[in-house]
Structure 1
Amino acid sequence: MSQRLPQFQAATATDEQKAVLQDILSGPRGNLNGPFLGWIFSPELAQHAQRLGAFCRYQTGLPLRLSELAILVTAARWQAQAEWYIHYPIAMQAGLPADVAEAIRIGLEPKFADEDDKLIYRFATELYQAKRVSDATYKQAADRFGHTVVVNLVGLLGYYALVAMTLNVFEMRAEGQDSLPFHE
């Protein structure tokens, strides 16, 4: 799965590594697809990151479609091959229009039919481009979703940026990935 890290050997795993793997496999993900076999070389980081990720993916208070939209914006921003490959089908199942995802993938601003989709895209895009979110966008997000969910959205964007960086630095691909959504 990685071109830069040695292949992880479960037979020689430390107790800490085994505990992290068990937590991931018994949690809501149920698989090790993604950055986990990279993080496992630092079991303490892996444990903290996978717990944060479970929260960010499943408990932000956002509907799945909006969480996956934010993840795809992040994957496109970082051109994270595996992140896009893993989350694109989830986004499609959650009801994100394919033309919206494709525009994001190729770096164009999508035409949105849904105002919540447009708001999440604008929030994430402003944060990534300007390193800030405008007062108008922040107010709209806080009015629509509440402060707790906006805090969670920032956490989700930060977490998936960490995932993207991990996947990119260690040249990791998703299980079964046979195509690349971004040019290298």
Structure 2
Amino acid sequence: MHQPSRLPAFEPEQASPEQRALLDAILAGPRKSLNGPFVAWIHSPQLGDLAQRLGAFCRYESGLPLRLSELAILTTAAHWQSQAEWYIHLPIALEAGLSPTLAEQIRLGGIPHFSDGDDELIWRFANELYQDKRVSATVYERACSRFGLQVVVNLVALLGYYGLVAMTLNVFEMRAEGQLSLPFAEPPGT
């Protein structure tokens, strides 16, 4: 992974027992790498352990089909203009069946044109939450009717978790493994 300039270099051979346990848990889990926020979180192993376990649930067990959870993650990445989050999740979303045109519309920040009602509902839910800090009764009721209350609770957690990921990646200026281009313009002064 690109070592961000705001973090000291992490050398696994010099890891504390807590850092080693976290590193082992991440590498043994479904992710199999430190790509993402984990190089930052390893500097706070207790937080890192809790966050990576929450993330595994949100990403792999939300009850949403992969295309929809990845759509929610891309909506989050676009909201936060998180370079690494977008870079990591775009190929996963496309492989899961998300339209490249829809992904690009989300990246650009406009109102996308939807051909699938579930895509539109997930985007509206996430977008309302990010823009209005609330979800309208209409969108909430549609989401509960379509996905069930438990999945809606999990969707809120997924959005919150990937907000945490985006903030971590942005604050520490992290990039993904192999990332050579940026999907979002960097703000002046960073």
TM-score under structure 2 length normalisation: 0.96
d(CA) in 1 for partners of 2:177 and 2:101?
Answer: 25
How much has 1:9 moved relative to structure 2? 1.0
Does residue 45 (structure 1) correspond to residue 47 (structure 2)? The answer is: yes
- What SS does the corresponding residue of 1:49 show, helix, strand or coil? helix
d(CA) in 1 for partners of 2:164 and 2:13?
Answer: 28
Mapping 1:1-184, distance limit 5 Å? 1-184=3-186
d(CA) in 2 for partners of 1:135 and 1:103?
Answer: 25
d(CA) in 2 for partners of 1:33 and 1:129?
Answer: 28
d(CA) in 2 for partners of 1:142 and 1:54?
Answer: 23
- Matched residue pairs, number? 184
d(CA) in 1 for partners of 2:84 and 2:104?
Answer: 16
TM-score under structure 1 length normalisation: 0.99
Provide Cα deviations, 1:81-128, integer angstroms capped at 9, x if missing partner: 000000000000000000100000011111111000000000000000
The two structures, once aligned, show a CA RMSD in angstroms of 0.5
- What SS does the corresponding residue of 2:145 show, helix, strand or coil? helix
d(CA) in 2 for partners of 1:10 and 1:22?
Answer: 10
d(CA) in 1 for partners of 2:8 and 2:57?
Answer: 29
**Amino acid corresponding to residue 179 of structure 1 in structure 2:** S
- What SS does the corresponding residue of 1:109 show, helix, strand or coil? coil
* Identical residues among aligned pairs (%): 67
How much has 1:29 moved relative to structure 2? 0.8
d(CA) in 2 for partners of 1:33 and 1:126?
Answer: 29
Higher mean displacement: 1-10 or 165-174: 1-10
Unaligned ranges ≥5, structure 1: none
- What SS does the corresponding residue of 1:102 show, helix, strand or coil? helix
**Amino acid corresponding to residue 41 of structure 2 in structure 1:** W
d(CA) in 1 for partners of 2:102 and 2:9?
Answer: 36
- What SS does the corresponding residue of 1:165 show, helix, strand or coil? helix
Where do 4+ consecutive residues of structure 1 move more than 2 Å? none
**Amino acid corresponding to residue 64 of structure 1 in structure 2:** L
Unaligned ranges ≥5, structure 2: none
Provide Cα deviations, 1:19-45, integer angstroms capped at 9, x if missing partner: 111111111111110000000000000
How much has 1:11 moved relative to structure 2? 1.3
**Amino acid corresponding to residue 179 of structure 2 in structure 1:** Q
**Amino acid corresponding to residue 169 of structure 2 in structure 1:** L
